[in-house]
Amino acid sequence: MKIRATAAIMECLLEQEVDTVFGYPGGTILNIYDELYRYKDKIRHILTAHEQGAAHAADGYARSTGKVGVCFATSGPGATNLTTGIATAYLDSSPVVFITCNVTEATLGKDAFQEVDITGIAMPITKATFLVRDPAAIPAVMRQAFAVAANGRPGPVLIDFIKDVTFPGVEIEYEFVPWRENRGCAGMRELNRDHELKKPTPSQEDVDILLDMIAGAQRPFVICGGGVVLGRADREFKEFAEKLDAPVAISLMGGGGFPGSHPLTTGMLGMHGSRASNTACNECDLLIAVGCRFSDRVALNPATFARQAKIVQIDIDRAEIDKNVLTDHHIIGSARRVLAMLNEKLPQYDHSGWKARILPLRAPSVAGASDRLTPQQVLETIRVQMPPDAIVATDVGQHQMWAVKYLHFRYPGQLLTSGGFGTMGFGLGAAIGAQTAHPDKRVLHITGDGCFRMNCHELATVQHYGLPIVSIVFNNGTLGMVRQWQNLIYGQRYSETTLDRGPDFVKLAEAYGVRGFRAKTAAEMEKALAQALAERESAVIDCCLDIDEMVRPMVASGSEITDFLLSEGGES
């Protein structure tokens, strides 16, 4: 059947069961938006305030659902505005298909108005880029793009259409093929319980070697990494950890992969890792990292990391093996498949002695009484009041560390945070994506004053679509994490980190038509959050905190993992 090329693009989205796209129109992508107008009852478009917000929203949509997110932008500045969002998705392995249009074939390469080589720019921050110059290639490229984004280790893909391809007169041969039939494996669908990636198949031999290593270990220690979340392997991981009866550290990206309130959890590991996690890492004799790439924030000093241990890495991407930390054994495969194979033969162990050494080191964070509002009080209020299945999106910095240390996540996709790329301004976009995907859930956006300023214009999107997102701003009037380093390492020379300037976040919220609250005490915070949650409306809560609040504990970059620069505990 012959149909318009742009209609084929829409049909290809429908093939993949895409019902929501995020984006921002412009000159070169006009034809696609014109087609979208005809498809508006089948595909919902969320117009953001800025392309970066659209990119983060598509990313947040993907992270919270396990589906592929889709984002549109025009050529030139529209495309380059996506790049921070693309890189954020790439570093955290989030499946997003970015669709841009470029100038006409006749002007390509001639520095035409709003022309940029976006496929070239995006090459290092995507799994693949496609430049489409032949309309007949549309179905094949679209199908492949979704397959690449969703399968194996997920990640972003960029398709750039030359404007000629989308001209109204262009027709191509097209037949609707549901994605299940054009791809041999389930990647696009929500990652439900029977979801299994097709490849790679874990080797039984490798699994047996690990089982032997486990049998010989006295002090095993497990890291729950982002791979557990992305592969939705939470159930398998829990069974594995409980059978192994070993302490479990949860990496930043692993939040939600293992219940934060589980008796075996030791919390985060690494730079802001708990004493329990970091000590366990130093003293264990077998370290099993599941879907974790030992980033420099976890393995602060790769040479001495887990020095007494045999290190085993379970990862879907062979390129992660021996990249940051040299390992003794590895298993290639999705966390789900590998853990299921391990669980099949794993007997119930008892490591009480080892647990008795590590688990008591956990120090519960306490929100002490104070005249002035403290981060602990804010988070305690959130923990008490938030619905247990509420989705939390964070930005980057102190508030991110506090939130992840303090709140306990229960399921994959509940925590949306930019771990790898550390993108300030990620949170509000991600919250928009998550709230769009889950209209029935509450979405909390935890942010700092520095981060919130970066993309607060997305409040316009929040207000327009009536998304009941509550933004909680940890306002300490500074770039807190940078100030913390300046305080501890740079002789208290606070170079350009003090944010003693506008805007007034309450007034700003009101200007966008969003409810604004200010909290200076714990009581005000409790009241504000209760009201914001009860009203089911978008709101911003400006939490006024002291400028010198610090994230505890802390180990300096490159140091020994137990060499704490700041100790745990709230007696600050």
Partner 1 sequence: MRKQWDTEKKLYTLCVLTEDTPGILSQVARLFSRKGYNIESIVTGSTDRPHTARLSINIIADELVVNQLATQCRRILGVQAVKVLNEETCVRREIALIKVRAADHGTRDEIIQLANIFRGHIMDVDRESLTVWVFGTQSKNAALIQMLEDFGILEIATTGTIAIERGRSTIYDESKLKEEYEYGKNVL
The reply to whether 185 sits near partner 1 by the rule CB under 8 A is yes
320-327 contact pairs (CB < 8 A, 24+):
320/293, 323/293, 323/294, 324/293, 324/294, 324/295, 324/296, 324/299, 325/294, 325/299, 326/302
42 is a site residue for partner 1 (CB under 8 A): no
Task: State the greatest distance between any 2 C-alpha atoms of the chain, in Å, as a whole number.
Answer: 74
- Binder among 34, 285, 317, 560 for partner 1 (CB under 8 A): 317
Chain positions 133 to 152 lying near partner 1, rule: CB under 8 A, are 140, 143-144, 147-148, 151-152
Confirm or reject binding of residue 108 to partner 1 (CB under 8 A): no
* Bridging pattern class, strands 171-173 and 2-4: antiparallel
Nearer Cβ to partner 1, position 19 or 117? 117
Comparing CA positions, the residue from 109, 49, 38 lying closest to residue 119 is 109
12-25 per-residue burial string, b: 16 or more CB within 10 A, e: under 16:
bbebbebebbbbbb
Which lies closer to partner 1 via its Cβ, residue 58 or residue 316? 316
Per CB under 8 A, 332 contacts partner 1: yes
Which residue out of 188, 481, 550, 554 is catalytically annotated? 481
CA distance 528 to 163: 49
List CB contacts of 294: < 8 A, sequence separation 6 or more. Answer: 302, 305, 313, 323, 324, 325
Cis peptide before 200 (omega within 30 of 0): yes
What is the closest distance, in whole angstroms, from the C-beta atom of residue 419 to partner 1 in the complex? 20
124 contacts partner 1 (rule: CB under 8 A) = yes
The rounded distance, in Å, linking the Cα atoms of 503 and 95 is 35
Q: Which of 38, 40, 42, 318 touches partner 1 (CB under 8 A)?
A: 318
- Count of residues in contact with partner 1, rule CB under 8 A: 35
CB of 187 to partner 1, least distance (A): 8
Q: Could you tell me the smallest distance in angstroms from the CB atom of residue 140 to partner 1?
A: 5
C-beta of residue 451 within 8 angstroms of C-beta of residue 471: no
Residues in contact with partner 1, shown as a per-residue x/- string from 188 to 227 under the rule CB under 8 A: ----------xxx---------------------------
Q: Residue 327 interacts with partner 1 (CB under 8 A)?
A: yes
Catalytic residue, candidates 11, 51, 380, 458: 51
**149 or 533: CB nearest partner 1:** 149
- Nearer residue to partner 1 within complex by CB, 217 or 446: 217
Using only C-alpha atoms, what is the Rg of the chain? Answer: 24
**Structure token digits, residue 78:** 């529209």
Spell out a b/e string for 171-182, using b for 16 or more CB atoms within 10 Å of the CB, else e: ebebeeeebeee
Among 319, 356, 369, 534, binds partner 1 (CB under 8 A): 319
- 114 a catalytic residue: yes
Residues 106, 326, 511, 523: which binds partner 1 (CB under 8 A)?
A: 326
184 binds partner 1 (CB under 8 A): yes
Residue 445 tokens, joined: 């956006």
Catalytic residue annotation: 51, 113-114, 163, 481
